[in-house]
C-alpha cells in the first residue's frame, strides 16, 4: 500500500526542510511512503529547498491560487502518482508528524474513507479564548450541515483513501476543510476523527487575516456548500419564514376586519400579500435549485467515472 504525504506550500523556504525531516519513514501497513510538495506559486526558494531536503515529487502551480486550489491539485496529482492513501499536512510543521500513523490506521483497516486529526480546539494553548470558542461553534455548525459528529472542522491534518480522493471536488477558493466535510456527509463517506498533537506556532496564520475575515469567509463557505448539497432544505426554511410572517399579518388583518376596523389596517394585508408572494417564489427557487443539484450529482458521477477510467488507462 502506497502513502503519499502532500504538503501545500507558499513561500515556506524557512520551514519546509524541518517539516520534511519530521515526516515518518515507516508506518505499519504501508509499504511505500512518498512526499509531494505543491508549490503554490512561491516567490522564494521553497521548491528548490524541498527538492534538496528529499521531497519525492514537486508540483509547481503557475501562480498563487490559494490553499484550497493547492489542496485539490495535490489530490489529483497524488491519484495520478498511484497513492492508495493520501495524507495532507501543513508546511509550517504545526501538526505533529508522528501522528500520521494514527491518521492512516482507520484507512488501512477500512473503517473510514476520511480521517481528520482532532486538535481538541478547546484545549489548544496557542489559541485565544475567542478563537477556541469560534472554532468549536464552527465545528458544531458544519456538523449540522454535514450530518456528522465533527469535533474539529478546520483541521487540515487529514488522511483520505484513494476512493474518497476520487470523489472529492473542491470549489472554494478560501479553504477546503469545511466544504469537503459537508461534501463527505452528502456522499455518505465514513468520516473518523483521531486525537492529534500540535507543535508550537512558528508564524501567524496566513489564511486567517483576522476574526472578522475568518467569520465572513467561513460563513460564506458553509452557506455555499450547504446550499449546494441541500438546496431544497435551505430555501424551504427561508420560504417558511416569509409564509409564516405573511400568514400572521393576514390573520391580524382579518381580526380587525371582523371587528369593523379593517380599513385602518390595509397596510397589513398589502404587506401580508407581498410576504406570501416572496415566500412562494422562494420555495419555487428551492425546487429549481434542487433540480440543478440533482443534475450536479450526475455530473459528479460522470467526473468520478472519468477519473476511474483514467486510472485504468494510466500505465
The reply to whether 48 and 147 lie within a common domain is: yes
Which spans in the chain are helix H?
A: 16-22, 46-52, 67-80, 100-108, 129-146, 162-167, 177-186, 211-229, 231-258, 266-313
The reply to whether 104 and 167 lie within a common domain is: yes
Q: Is 230 helix (H, G, I), strand (E, B) or coil?
A: coil
Where is the domain boundary, 200, 228, 256?
228
Rounded Cα distance, 153 and 161, in Å: 19
- Domain that includes residue 294, residue range: 231-313
Burial class (CB in 10 A: 0-12, 13-18, 19+), 53: middle
* Per-residue confidence in pLDDT tens, the chain, 315 aa: 999 999 999 999 999 999 999 999 999 999 999 999 999 999 989 999 999 999 999 999 989 988 889 999 999 999 999 999 999 999 988 899 999 999 999 999 999 999 999 988 777 776 767 777 777 777 888 887 778 888 888 899 999 999 999 999 888 777 788 888 888 888 889 999 999 998 887 666 666 666 676 677 777 777 777 777 778 888 899 999 999 999 999 888 888 888 877 677 788 888 999 999 999 999 999 899 888 877 777 777 788 777 777 765 655
Where is the domain boundary, 228, 251, 267?
228
Q: What is the pTM of this model?
A: 0.78
Q: How many domains does the chain have?
A: 2
The reply to whether 255 and 285 lie within a common domain is: yes
Where is the domain boundary, 195, 228, 261?
228
The reply to whether 196 and 236 lie within a common domain is: no
The DSSP bridge pattern shows strands 85-88 and 2-9 to be parallel
The reply to whether 235 and 200 lie within a common domain is: no
The reply to whether 23 and 127 lie within a common domain is: yes
The reply to whether 204 and 245 lie within a common domain is: no
User: Domain holding 123: CATH number?
Assistant: 3.90.550.10
The reply to whether 77 and 201 lie within a common domain is: yes
Q: At 95, list the grid cell.
A: 501538526
Amino acid at each position: 500500500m502506497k502513502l503519499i504525504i502532500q504538503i501545500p506550500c507558499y513561500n515556506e523556504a524557512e520551514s519546509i526542510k524541518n517539516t520534511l525531516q519530521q515526516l515518518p519513514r515507516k508506518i505499519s501497513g504501508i509499504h511505500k511512503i512518498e512526499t509531494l510538495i505543491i508549490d503554490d506559486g512561491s516567490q522564494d526558494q521553497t521548491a528548490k529547498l524541498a527538492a534538496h531536503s528529499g521531497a519525492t515529487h514537486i508540483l509547481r502551480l503557475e501562480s498563487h491560487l490559494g490553499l484550497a486550489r493547492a489542496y485539490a491539485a495535490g489530490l489529483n496529482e497524488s491519484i495520478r502518482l498511484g497513492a492508495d492513501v493520501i495524507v495532507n499536512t501543513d508546511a509550517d510543521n504545526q501538526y505533529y508528524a508522528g501522528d500520521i500513523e494514527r491518521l492512516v490506521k482507520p484507512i488501512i483497516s477500512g473503517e473510514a474513507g476520511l480521517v481528520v486529526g482532532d486538535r481538541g480546539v478547546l484545549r489548544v494553548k496557542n489559541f485565544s479564548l475567542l478563537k477556541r470558542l469560534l472554532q468549536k461553534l464552527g465545528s458544531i455548525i458544519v456538523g449540522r450541515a454535514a450530518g456528522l459528529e465533527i469535533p474539529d472542522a478546520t483541521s487540515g491534518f487529514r488522511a483520505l483513501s484513494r476512493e474518497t480522493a476520487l470523489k472529492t471536488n473542491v470549489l472554494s477558493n478560501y479553504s477546503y476543510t469545511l466544504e469537503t466535510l459537508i461534501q463527505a456527509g452528502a456522499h455518505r463517506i465514513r468520516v473518523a476523527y483521531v486525537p492529534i498533537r500540535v507543535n508550537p506556532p512558528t508564524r501567524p496564520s496566513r489564511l486567517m487575516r483576522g476574526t472578522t475575515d475568518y467569520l465572513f469567509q467561513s460563513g460564506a463557505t458553509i452557506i455555499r456548500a450547504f446550499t449546494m448539497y441541500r438546496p431544497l432544505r435551505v430555501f424551504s426554511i427561508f420560504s417558511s419564514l416569509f409564509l409564516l410572517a405573511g400568514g400572521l399579518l393576514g390573520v391580524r388583518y382579518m381580526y380587525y376586519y371582523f371587528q369593523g376596523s379593517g380599513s385602518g389596517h390595509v397596510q397589513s394585508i398589502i404587506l401580508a400579500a407581498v410576504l406570501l408572494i416572496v415566500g412562494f417564489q422562494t420555495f419555487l427557487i428551492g425546487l429549481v435549485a434542487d433540480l440543478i443539484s440533482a443534475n450536479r450529482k450526475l455530473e459528479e458521477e460522470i467526473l468520478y467515472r472519468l477519473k476511474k477510467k483514467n486510472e485504468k488507462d494510466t500505465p
